[in-house]
Amino acid sequence: MSSTPFDEMYTPSGEVRPHYQDFSRWLEMQSSEKLQNKRAEADLIFRRVGITFAVYGEESGTERLIPFDIVPRVIKASEWKTLEAGLRQRVQALNMFLKDIYNEQKILGTGLIPPEQIFNNEQYRPEMQGVKVAGDIYAHIAGVDVVRAGEGEFYVLEDNLRVPSGVSYMLENRKMMMRLFPELFARNRVAPVEHYPDNLLENLRSVSPQNSSDPTVVLLTPGMYNSAYFEHAFLAQQMGIELVEGKDMFVDEEVLYMRTTQGPKRVDVIYRRLDDDFLDPLAFREDSQLGVPGLLSVYRAGNVTLANAIGTGVADDKSIYPYVPDMIRFYLSEEPIIQNVPTWQCRKPDQLKEVLAKLPELVVKEVHGAGGYGMLVGPASTKAQIEEFRQKLIADPAKFIAQPTLALSTCPTFVEQGLAPRHIDLRPFVLSGSKVSLIPGGLSRVALREGSLVVNSSQGGGTKDTWVLER
């Protein structure tokens, strides 16, 4: 892993990489005034459409736009081919792992993963033990965060198998670029992404438990106060399915129905954007107002499919992440195509010792954390912050993993001073149903603060359109 960040657009000697040349020539011909006007137009349209995000921790509690950058992240066809194969492999192994731990638990018998890592994990759901799920698919929609550290050198940063979000921004970013700069798409063969909602619906219908010819699919949202509500409403509308809340549905004799103006209608598949804890107050959190009482009994009876399945969180937990390469070897008898970032497990005394010695140069994350919260970025922290974190680590080492500070690749991005390199990552979306499919590209997130490695939108990161070239 090199220490100088890989620039997606320019070589170290400052030349434009071949797959960016068309874009670069176009960019040189644009006046700064025109680009400024287009950026303002994009903001205006996004505001009008209502693409907002709640930034946690802001006093005002207001929703704001995710900043959108007009310089795309461009991926060569050959690189995408490798990425796609690696992501398919990874999600297939994770689905096999989930099936295994909730049924035969073969992997635990081999000693590859210590059983306590599973059974003491807060995301493990004993209620799912022995439950038959349609097609043996647990993670129907997976968002895998990938970073680049060099030419052809990609690493998986984390797996998101619970309720991964961000796909609406991928679709809207593309729509925006085509609206603002249609001429760019005439010059570049960019693989389309707009068929994602159709693929998603087809994928969800294919795992209907009743094998009905016309299954009813709904999207379950916690409601309009959720930070990703825009996405819930957007996807339901794009797929042409009902957007429902828990109170819109009820259970009768182990069958799930939604209330409609024509009377009760049976529901076969739920694309749920609600955490496990809130799904069923009779089974999980009894104070939940967001779920459906009795939903787990319908699920266990095999009369409804939940996408993603209950209990998938145990496979995307950061304490399980170091074992995914072993899972690939165990279930598929293959070597991982995309590597993990090297990871120290702080629960192991020898690895903890190493982490404490190198703390100023490492990234330390909470194993159950998400959204970029509760982490230490050693090189960007003060001595006092590092010492404070050191005490946390010593007090409860099992709560943390540590990784080297990767030189995440950068991509030119418009900032106050003009174009400047900013760190990016990529979240492609993998759909698993009767077949596995990927939309070419994904959501590219960009850290807008100079030197920052935190790309999460909830902490002020922005997004870019992601182009996968077809040739």
Domains delineated in the chain: 342-405 (3.30.1490.270)
The whole model's pTM is what? Answer: 0.92
Rounded distance, CA 347 to CA 395, Å?
11
Count of Cβ atoms closer than 10 Å to residue 47 Cβ: 12
pLDDT score, position 60: 45
Task: Please identify which residue in the block is written with the tokens 């797996």.
Answer: 159
Tell me what the pLDDT averaged over the chain comes to.
91
pLDDT score, position 47: 84
Give mean pLDDT, residues 351-370. Answer: 87
Query: What are the CA-CA distances from residue 78 to residues 84, 105, 222, 380 (Å)?
Result: 10, 37, 40, 35
Give mean pLDDT, residues 27-46. Answer: 92
Q: Would you call 245 exposed, middle or buried from its count of C-beta atoms within 10 A (0-12, 13-18, 19+)? A: middle
pLDDT band at 236 (very low <50, low <70, confident <90, very high): very high
Six-digit token string for 367: 């194993």
Give mean pLDDT, residues 124-145. Answer: 95
Strand 242-244 with 443-446, pairing: unpaired
pLDDT score, position 58: 46
pLDDT score, position 211: 65
Minimum mean pLDDT among 54-63, 197-206, 306-315: which range?
54-63
Task: Please identify which residue in the block is written with the tokens 């030419």.
Answer: 151
Strand 269-272 with 305-307, pairing: parallel
Q: Among positive and negative, which fits the CA dihedral 210, 215, 216, 220?
A: positive
Rounded distance, CA 162 to CA 276, Å?
9
Of the CA atoms within 13 Å of residue 174, those in its CB half-sphere come to 23
Give mean pLDDT, residues 407-423. Answer: 89
Q: Among positive and negative, which fits the CA dihedral 317, 322, 328, 330?
A: negative
Rounded distance, CA 457 to CA 447, Å?
9
pLDDT band at 2 (very low <50, low <70, confident <90, very high): very low
Asked if 372 and 454 count as a contact pair (C-beta separation under 8 A), the reply is yes
Rounded distance, CA 177 to CA 173, Å?
6
pLDDT score, position 18: 95
Count of Cβ atoms closer than 10 Å to residue 237 Cβ: 12
Give mean pLDDT, residues 6-28. Answer: 95
Asked if 447 and 424 count as a contact pair (C-beta separation under 8 A), the reply is yes
58-108 residue pLDDT tens: 444 456 677 899 999 999 999 999 999 999 999 999 999 999 999 999 999
pLDDT band at 415 (very low <50, low <70, confident <90, very high): confident
- Burial code of 283-298, b = ≥16 C-beta within 10 A, e = fewer? bbeeebebbbbbbbbb
> Minimal CA–CA distance to 215: which of 282, 307, 97, 141?
307
Q: In what order do the strands lie in the sheet with 269-272?
A: 242-244, 217-220, 269-272, 305-307
Question: Which residues neighbour 428 within 8 Å (Cβ) at sequence distance 6 or greater?
Answer: 83, 84, 87, 143, 144, 146, 438, 439, 441, 442
